Amino acid sequence: MFFVIRETAGWFLIVAALYLIQLALLDYVEAGKVVEAGIVVMASMFVFKGGIHLIRVATAARICMLPRRSSNEQDP
């Protein structure tokens, strides 16, 4: 059941990272603050990477929870 929480947190981090990128591009770049925009984009890349990692871990946990088929069974 914990994989549902991890996946939800991962999607939340991805949405937060996309919001930060939008903030950097629309607010900072239009105001001429290019260095600050670069810092926000770099931080949002790490947040995005963390969100992707949480989704990957949740997917792997969900796959591991599936029942295994025995090797003696034949595929139809």
pLDDT in tens, the chain (76 residues): 778 899 999 999 999 999 999 999 998 888 888 898 999 999 999 999 999 999 999 999 888 888 877 666 665 5
Q: Which helix (H) or strand (E) holds 45?
A: helix 34-64
Torsion of CA 6, 7, 13, 17, to 10 degrees: 150
What does the pLDDT read at residue 31?
A: 86
pLDDT at 67: 83
| pLDDT score of 74 | 63
Secondary structure class of 75 (helix, strand, coil)? coil
